[in-house]
């Protein structure tokens, strides 16, 4: 039997999930990330507030980002999860690096200086290197959670009419790479419920109302937002204040066939 055929396996090795969570500012993204197992943050923005978590120095360049990930991959530590907070603040660092690397005889100071759309294409290899570096951490047993702000974008669908959707706040090239890389893309928002009220001339109008600050993570694209998962998870999962990641952790463990560790006898 050939060398490759001898390595064929019917059951691929279970690796930690690659998770993307996008939501508005203040929606609880960092709090959710802080509840992962023994996390360390790569804080590309100043968004941690009062959260007491381990955090690497804030990167000032793309090289700083890659060096930080490389150190986690090559040095001994006890961290089990990396939280990138947020990738839309990593994006300008990628753009600046692209301008520096592609300068040549011309001084590029902005990603738009390359001409229509060219700069974002030139940035793709640096994004790919970034995701490959994250995958190295994953192969070493770390869960990677990438946080991102979001925005409403109009999608021009060749089959359907144009429609609006909520998606990560990235250029379309970077967003496509992020979406392809991720095992889970969750849309985090404050839970809402339908509310009927009286409008003009006594007509009933249906609107939505927030439900006391409770949050929900959408894991499947049911229209209006970008979401997906490769594990057959529920369409949406509650995000409780006391353990934001807990329900998603449990759902992932069930889907991956991982049994929770039994508490030792006599343990508190």
Number of domains in the chain: 1
Q: Which of 70-74, 117-121, 128-132, 201-205 has the lowest mean pLDDT?
A: 201-205
Instruction: Report if residue 4 sits inside a domain.
Output: no
Residue 93 belongs to domain spanning: 17-187+216-236
Contacts of 241 (CB under 8 A, 6+ apart): none
Asked if the structure places residue 241 within a domain, the reply is no
Residue 179 lies in a domain: yes
In this prediction, residue 243 carries a pLDDT of 95
Q: Indicate whether 262 belongs to any domain.
A: no
Nearest 5°: CA angle at 61, between 60 and 67?
Answer: 105
Query: Given pLDDT bands bounded at 50, 70 and 90, which one contains residue 265?
Result: low
Is residue 129 in some structural domain? yes
Residue 205 resides in a domain: no
CATH of the domain at 154: 3.40.50
> How does pLDDT run across 223-251, given as a tens digit for each residue?
899 999 999 999 999 999 999 999 999 99
- pLDDT single digits (tens) 2-42: 777 777 766 566 899 999 999 999 899 999 999 999 999 99
């Amino acid at each position: 039997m050939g060398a490759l055929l001898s390595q064929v396996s019917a059951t691929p090795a279970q690796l930690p999930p690659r998770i993307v969570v996008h939501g508005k500012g203040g929606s609880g993204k960092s709090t959710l990330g802080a509840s992962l197992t023994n996390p360390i943050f790569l804080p590309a923005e100043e968004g941690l507030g009062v959260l007491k978590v381990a955090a690497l120095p804030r990167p000032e360049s793309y090289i700083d980002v890659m060096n930080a990930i490389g150190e986690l991959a090559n040095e001994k530590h006890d961290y089990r999860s990396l939280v990138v907070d947020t990738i839309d603040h990593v994006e300008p660092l990628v753009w600046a690096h692209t301008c520096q690397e592609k300068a040549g005889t011309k001084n590029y100071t902005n990603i738009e200086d390359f001409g229509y759309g060219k700069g974002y294409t030139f940035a793709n290899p640096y994004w790919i290197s970034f995701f490959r570096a994250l995958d190295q951490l994953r192969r070493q047993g770390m869960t990677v959670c990438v946080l991102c702000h979001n925005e409403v974008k109009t999608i021009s669908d060749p089959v359907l009419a144009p429609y609006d959707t909520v998606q990560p706040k990235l250029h379309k090239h970077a967003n496509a790479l992020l979406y392809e890389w991720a095992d889970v893309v969750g849309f985090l928002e404050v839970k809402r419920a339908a509310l009927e009220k009286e409008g003009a001339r006594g007509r009933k109008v249906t609107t939505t109302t927030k439900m006391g600050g409770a949050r929900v993570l959408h894991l499947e694209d049911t229209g209006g937002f970008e979401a997906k998962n490769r594990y057959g998870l529920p369409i949406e999962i509650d995000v409780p204040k006391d353990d934001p990641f807990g329900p998603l952790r449990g759902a992932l463990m069930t889907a991956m066939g991982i049994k929770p560790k039994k508490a030792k006898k006599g343990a508190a």
